[in-house]
Amino acid sequence: MEFPDLGRHCSKHDCKQLDFLPFTCDACKKVFCLDHRTYKDHTCAEVKVRDKKAQVCPLCNIPVPCGPNEDVDEKMNRHIEDGCKSEARERKKAKRCSVKRCRKTELLPIQCAKCSHQYCLGHRLPSDHNCDAVRRETMTAAHMLRRQSTNNARGASSSGGLLSFLTGKA
């Protein structure tokens, strides 16, 4: 044999297969072949020490770790009572686009300079989100133009019309 130190034998008593890519169990620290690498396959005695579960909190989406002898529900209740980070959910809601049916959230939402609401990239322009401030400005400008044209029409008819305005004769 050219490489006598290459590979290791499986630690399972009834296997002892020579494996060139062996697996080391992180619980019992023994070496196993591909067929016996999982806790279940080599009946690991140390797995109970490593048996931990994590339930995801429904309010803040943060995993809550539970030990092997701990009640998952009790641990979750304690997490919620001790100040669950549900504010993170509110912060995410605060970054949501202000358009009615748009549910996009941006890492850095864009704030409209006219109406001060936050929008996604797709609705960032005032024309894309039907900006109320722009609409009010347009309505105010249109109202002023109407009033100005009404005043000019009254003044033009009483002073001789457009011709007198252009020639400067009143």
Distance, CA of 103 to CA of 125 (rounded, Å) = 17
Average pLDDT (110-133) is 83
- What range defines the domain where residue 88 resides? 52-94
Least confident span in 24-28, 65-69, 95-99: 65-69
Q: Are residues 28 and 59 in the same domain?
A: no
Q: Are residues 40 and 3 in the same domain?
A: yes
Q: Is residue 46 part of a domain?
A: yes
Q: Are residues 28 and 58 in the same domain?
A: no
Q: Are residues 3 and 45 in the same domain?
A: yes
Q: Is residue 147 part of a domain?
A: yes
Average pLDDT (117-135) is 82
52 has pLDDT over 80:
no
Distance, CA of 69 to CA of 73 (rounded, Å) = 12
Distance, CA of 32 to CA of 34 (rounded, Å) = 7
Which CATH number do you get for residue 38?
4.10.1110.10
